Amino acid sequence: MTESLGNDPQQDHYSAPVNPEWPPPPSYQPPMGTAAGMAPEPAPRRKRNRGPVTLLAAVAIVAAAVGGGTAYAFQELTGKTTVASSGTTTNVVPSSKRGDVAAIAAAVSPSVVEINATLSSGSSTGSGVIITSNGEIVTNNHVISGAQSIKVRTSDGKSYTAQVVGTDSSKDLALIKLQGASGLKTASLGNSSGVQVGDTVVAIGSPEGLTGTVTSGIVSALNRDVTVSTDENQGQNQNGDGNWPFQFGGRQFNGDTGSSTTTYKAIQTDASLNPGNSGGALIDASGNIIGINSAMYSSSQQSSSSSDAGSIGLGFAIPINTVKSDLAKLRSGATG
C-alpha cells in the first residue's frame, strides 16, 4: 500500500503546509466542492459495499452447507432436468403439515407412476419414481426384467412408452426413460442415513394396478439383509401377480428365488405393501423419498385361510442413498 501511494502522481499537486499546526494534506485530491483547508468527507460508498459482500459470502457458506437441498431449490426455480436430490431434509410439505399423510400424498403422488411391462410369457405390474422432469424414472429391476415393451401411466392419467436406460440386478434397481415427456413433477430424494426406527413413513404405488394407492406406517427396522433373485426368468414366471420372491431370515417368501441371487441392506416398514408396490416410493414425514419399495410378504400365497389375509407388516425398501450412488452407473447404460 505504501508503495502504491508513493507512486500516486496526484501527491505532487500539494505543497507542504505553511502553518505547521495544520494537518498534512491527503494523498489524494479532495473531491470537487470541498472547502479549502477542510478535510475531505469520508467515502461511505466503500463501507456500504462491505455489507453485501459479507452477505454474499454468508449465503455461499450456507449454500455449501445445505448441499443437495440447494440443488433441489435451484431445479424448482430453473426447471432443469437434474435429479431433485436432497442431502439434508427438504420440506416438500409445509412445516405445519409435517407427518400429515394427506399433505404428503398430495405433494408426492404426482411423482409416482404405474409401470406395465409386457414379457414373453405374460406381464408385470409395478411402480416407479420420477427423478427428472423429462421422464427419468427409478424402479426395481424385477419390475422390468425381460420386458419386450414398457408402458407408464402418470398420476394424471397420461400414458407414455418407456425404454430401459440401465439396470443393476445386484441392487434390484433400474432406470427407464419416458419418450416425449417434459414438465413432469419430480420427487425429492432424501437422505436415508438419517432414518431412524419409529419414523413415520408413507408408501405410494400401484398395488394390483390400483394407481396412486397410499398407505402409512413406521420404519420398523434398519439394515435388514434381503436376498432377491437376479434371474430374468423369475420375473416372467410371476405372470403379472407382482409377488417377487425373496429371502429373509433364512426363509423364502413368494416362491423360490432360484440359484442366482443378490443381497442388499433394506429399510423394513410396517406400511402396507402389496403386489404392484414394487418400485414405488417410501416417503418420510417431510415428503422426501427415503426408499424404493422392493419386497413384501404376501400371505395369500401361503394360505387360503381368511385369518392370514391382508398385510402382516413385513415390507422392505432399498435405501435412497443406495439409489443415488447407483445413478451414474444406471445412466451409463449398464446392464446386469
Sorted by sequence, the CB contacts under 8 Å of residue 146 that are 6+ apart come out as: 117, 119, 120, 232, 233, 235, 236
Which pLDDT score, from 0 to 100, does residue 26 have? Answer: 53
Strands 200-205 and 149-153: unpaired
Which pLDDT score, from 0 to 100, does residue 32 have? Answer: 52
Split at pLDDT 50, 70, 90, the class of 131 is: very high
Asked which of 186-200, 229-243, 293-307 is least confident by mean pLDDT, the reply is 229-243
- Rg for the chain, CA atoms, rounded: 30
User: Which cell numbers hold the place of 53?
Assistant: 459482500
Vertex 47 angle, CA 45 and 50, to 5°: 110
Strands 281-283 and 213-229: unpaired
Asked which of 38-42, 117-121, 190-194 is least confident by mean pLDDT, the reply is 38-42
User: Which cell numbers hold the place of 248?
Assistant: 429373509
Average pLDDT over residues 43-63: 46
Q: Is residue 25 within 8 Å of residue 19, measured between CB atoms?
A: no
Percent pLDDT > 90 in the chain is 49
Which pLDDT score, from 0 to 100, does residue 59 have? Answer: 39
100: left (phi over 0), alpha (psi -120 to 50) or beta: beta
Asked which of 40-44, 108-112, 269-273 is least confident by mean pLDDT, the reply is 40-44
Tens digit of each residue's pLDDT (9 = 90 or more) over 159-181: 999 999 999 999 999 999 999 99
278 is catalytic: yes
From the list 85, 278, 286, 311, the catalytic residue is 278
Split at pLDDT 50, 70, 90, the class of 23 is: low
Q: Is residue 266 within 8 Å of residue 195, measured between CB atoms?
A: no
Greater confidence (214 vs 67) lies with: 214
Residue 38 pLDDT > 60: no
Q: From 186, 189, 177, select the one nearest 109 (Cα to Cα).
A: 186
Tens digit of each residue's pLDDT (9 = 90 or more) over 230-245: 776 554 444 444 566 7
* DSSP output for 12-79: GG-PPPSSTTSPPPPSSPPPTTPPTTSPPPP-HHHHHHHHHHHHHHHHHHHHHHHTHHHHHHHHHHH-
Residue 20 pLDDT > 50: no
CA distance 146 to 202: 30
Average pLDDT over residues 43-60: 48
Asked which of 94-98, 235-239, 268-272 is least confident by mean pLDDT, the reply is 235-239
What are the residues facing 139 on neighbouring strands? 174
CA distance 82 to 74: 10
CA distance 314 to 273: 8
Which pLDDT score, from 0 to 100, does residue 217 have? Answer: 96
91: left (phi over 0), alpha (psi -120 to 50) or beta: beta
Q: Is residue 285 within 8 Å of residue 98, measured between CB atoms?
A: yes
Split at pLDDT 50, 70, 90, the class of 305 is: very low
pTM, full prediction: 0.70
Which pLDDT score, from 0 to 100, does residue 177 have? Answer: 98
From the list 109, 111, 172, 199, the catalytic residue is 172
Split at pLDDT 50, 70, 90, the class of 14 is: very low
Residue 334 pLDDT > 80: yes
Burial of 6 (0-12, 13-18, 19+ CB in 10 A): exposed
At which residue does the C-alpha cell 414425514 appear? 285
Which pLDDT score, from 0 to 100, does residue 230 have? Answer: 73
User: Which cell numbers hold the place of 300?
Assistant: 395369500
Q: Is residue 312 within 8 Å of residue 270, measured between CB atoms?
A: no
Helices and strands per DSSP (H, E), number in the chain:
7, 14
CB atoms near residue 315 (< 10 Å): 28
Sorted by sequence, the CB contacts under 8 Å of residue 18 that are 6+ apart come out as: none
172 is catalytic: yes
CA distance 288 to 282: 8
